[in-house]
Amino acid sequence: MGRFLERLLQLIPVLLGVSLIVFLMLALTPGDPVEIMIGDQNMTAEQEALLRSDLGLDRPLPERFLNFLGNAVQGDFGTSYFHRRPVSEVISERLPATIELSLVAMLIALATAIPLGVAAAIHKNTIIDRIATVGSLFGVSLPGFWFGILLLMLFAVHLRLLPVSGRIGFESEVPSVTGFLLIDTLLQGRFSAFLDALKHILLPAITLGLPMTAILTRVTRTAMLEVMRQDYVAFAEAKGISRRRILFRHALKNALIPTVSVAAIETGSLLGGNMIVETVFGWPGLGRLVVESIFVRNYPLVQAAVLLYAVTYVLMNFVADILYTVLNPRVKL
């Protein structure tokens, strides 16, 4: 428990550092939100100054940073310049879509990578192994936006099996309970709406999960090979235990330790991937909102979102550590 608290306390300097870096990066990047907001219009200098002071951009940098910190501690992340609403409100509207997409992507990745990795290890140096290793090399190297558009062209335009963009069709509308459409639709017994939501999430989740699938396949394969060389496996074989039992009861359990912890850490990379995938598939999540906000220099929103990313990343690392100790009692936190 003490260890746990210590880890949580470590978050504080990390978040402070991240806040400062993001604030400085935004402040030092050329570009002016007021200019962007006014766009191509005629405007007098006084009117421009009024707008600038409205947004608090006429204040010196240190003051702006301290204001941000002071308010952030109280849970107030300011007002989005462009939405003209509280940042926390704008972000929380988009967050469920991103979390749902990330979870499904992770599920797909785990469900594909573990069997694939195991199969590659068992059939080492066979055609199955080659397909898995070469395939995962492709998976890591393919740019997400390109792969996504390929999937779109094939499944949405040519085969017309899946929709091009969005989270759910108009007809499948369900009242929000959890914010996760796959769960909400089931809770309300709307099976056709569930299928619709599933169809919408499939392509973006596959695209998002692809690099993770590739990495996890390789990790599982390596770990499995490693474990299969251990004495206890040889001993089990000598005892005459069936190969199936050795593989799944003895070997896989240990081989999964690195897989699970890498998966937890890789969740952080899903956050980055979200920005691209959400843009390609018109997914109404946080990633796309952040991309749009960076382009128009919507400082408060970018700051809050990056903080959120940092917290998630640190927490997922923490979860990885905990999982590691749970799965492998020899290691203590």
Partner 1 sequence: MGNFKNLLFASALAVILPLQAVDASEIRVGFTADALTLDPANHRNRETETIIRNLYDGILTRDADMKIVPEIAESFTQTSPTTFEFVIRKGIKFHDGSDLTAEDVKFTLDRLTVEGAMGDGQTSPRKSLLGPLKSTAVEGNKVIVTLSEPWPILPAMLPVQEVVSKAFVEKVGTAGLATQVNGNGPFKLTEWRKGDSIIMERFDGYYGGATDIPPVGKACVDRVIFKVIPETASRVAALLSGDVDIINELPPFSIAQVKSNPNTEVMTVNGTRSFFIALNNKGKVFGDIKVRQAVAYALDKKLIIDRILGGNAVSIDGILSPAAFGASKLPAHDYDPQKAKALLAEAGYPDGIDVVIDTEGAYKDTVQAIASVLAKSGIRAKVEVSESAILKAKWDPKDENPKGDMYFTSWGNGSLDPYDIFLPTHRSGDRGNSAHYANPELDKLLDQASSELDTAKRAGLYNKAEAIINADLPYVYLWVPQDIYGVSKRVKGWKPSADSRINLHDACVE
By the criterion CB under 8 A, which residues form the site for partner 1?
29-32, 35-44, 47-48, 50-51, 54, 82-85, 93-94, 97, 145, 149, 152-153, 156-157, 160, 163-167, 169-173, 189-193, 279-282, 284-285, 288-289, 292, 295-297
CA 191 to chain centre: 27
- CB of residue 56 to partner 1, shortest distance in Å: 13
Shortest Å, Cβ 215 to partner 1: 25
Q: Give the separation between CA 304 and CA 210, rounded to whole angstroms.
A: 28
The minimum distance between CB 124 and partner 1, in angstroms, equals 40
Which residue, 117 or 287, has its beta carbon nearer to partner 1?
A: 287
Question: In this structure, what token pair is assigned to residue 240?
Answer: 């005459």
Residue 34 to residue 39: CA distance in whole angstroms: 9
Could you say which DSSP state residue 41 is in? Answer: -
164 vs 315 by CB, closer to partner 1: 164
Helices 299-327 + 87-122 axis angle, to 10: 40
Which has the closest alpha carbon to 98: 289, 241, 254, 328? 289
Q: And the tokens for 67?
A: 């204001």
How does DSSP assign 55-115, residue by residue?
A: TTTTS-HHHHHHHHHHHHHTT---B-TTT-SBHHHHHHHHHHHHHHHHHHHHHHHHHHHHH
Tokens of 288: 């796309």
Q: Which is nearer to partner 1, 36 or 307 (CB)?
A: 36
The residue (of 6 and 89) whose beta carbon lies closer to partner 1 is 89
Q: Quote the least distance from Cβ 183 to partner 1, whole Å.
A: 16
Residues 168 and 279: their CA atoms lie apart, in Å, by 16
* Smallest distance, partner 1 to C-beta of residue 292, A: 8
Q: Please say which residue, 115 or 166, places its beta carbon nearer to partner 1.
A: 166
Question: How long is the chain?
Answer: 333
Question: How far is residue 59 from each of residues 22, 66, 262, 288, 324, measured CA to CA in Å?
Answer: 18, 11, 44, 29, 48
The Cα 204–Cα 288 span in angstroms is 13
What tokens were used for 21? 């870096």
C-beta closer to partner 1: residue 83 or 123? 83
Phi, psi of 274 (to 5 degrees): -55, -35
Compare residues 5 and 157 and give the one whose CB is closer to partner 1: 157
Q: How far is the CB of 236 from partner 1 (least distance, A)?
A: 45
Shortest Cβ distance from residue 134 to partner 1 (Å)? 27
Nearer to partner 1, 215 or 289 (CB): 289
Residue 128 CB, shortest distance to partner 1, in Å, is 34
Query: Whose Cβ is closer to partner 1: residue 16's or residue 49's?
Result: 49
CA distances from 34 to 45, 49, 124 (A): 12, 9, 60
Question: Least distance in Å: CB of 295 to partner 1?
Answer: 7
